């Protein structure tokens, strides 16, 4: 490896790092604008990440969420925690 190779790699990598920092700042500004518009930014981030996730990974995530929901139903977690009416309130919203 030569010094010119190292310099080339370092220059290219630093350009990529700068683009990443720019993208992070742009994302933060967009999230702030969404927050000011009353959007649930936690849900927004999750769905945006799902939009770029590989289909097989997303399918596995949904399967895990379905299992979790089934377990919650079996142990009647909503009833135990006094949340049994929350499904109707959420559906009405």
CA distance 68 to 79: 16
The full set of domain ranges for the chain reads: 1-52, 55-93
Q: Residue 88: CB partners within 8 Å, gap ≥ 6?
A: none
CA distance 45 to 48: 5
One digit per residue, pLDDT tens: the chain, 93 residues? 788 899 999 999 999 999 999 999 999 999 999 999 999 999 999 999 999 999 999 999 999 999 999 999 999 999 999 998 765 555 554
Q: What's the angle, vertex CA 32, arms to CA 30 and CA 36, rounded to 5?
A: 115
The model's pTM is: 0.70
Q: How many beta carbons lie within 10 A of that of residue 64, not counting itself?
A: 10
pLDDT at 45: 97
pLDDT at 4: 87
pLDDT at 50: 97
């Amino acid at each position: 490896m030569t010094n010119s190779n190292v310099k080339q790699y370092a220059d290219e990598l630093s350009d990529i790092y700068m683009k990443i920092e720019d993208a992070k700042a742009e994302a933060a500004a967009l999230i702030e604008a969404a927050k000011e518009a009353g959007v649930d930014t936690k849900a927004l981030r999750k769905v945006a990440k799902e939009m770029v996730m590989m289909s097989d990974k997303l399918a596995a995530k949904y399967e895990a969420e379905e299992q979790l929901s089934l377990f919650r139903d079996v142990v009647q977690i909503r009833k135990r925690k006094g949340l049994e009416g929350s499904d109707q309130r959420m559906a009405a919203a």
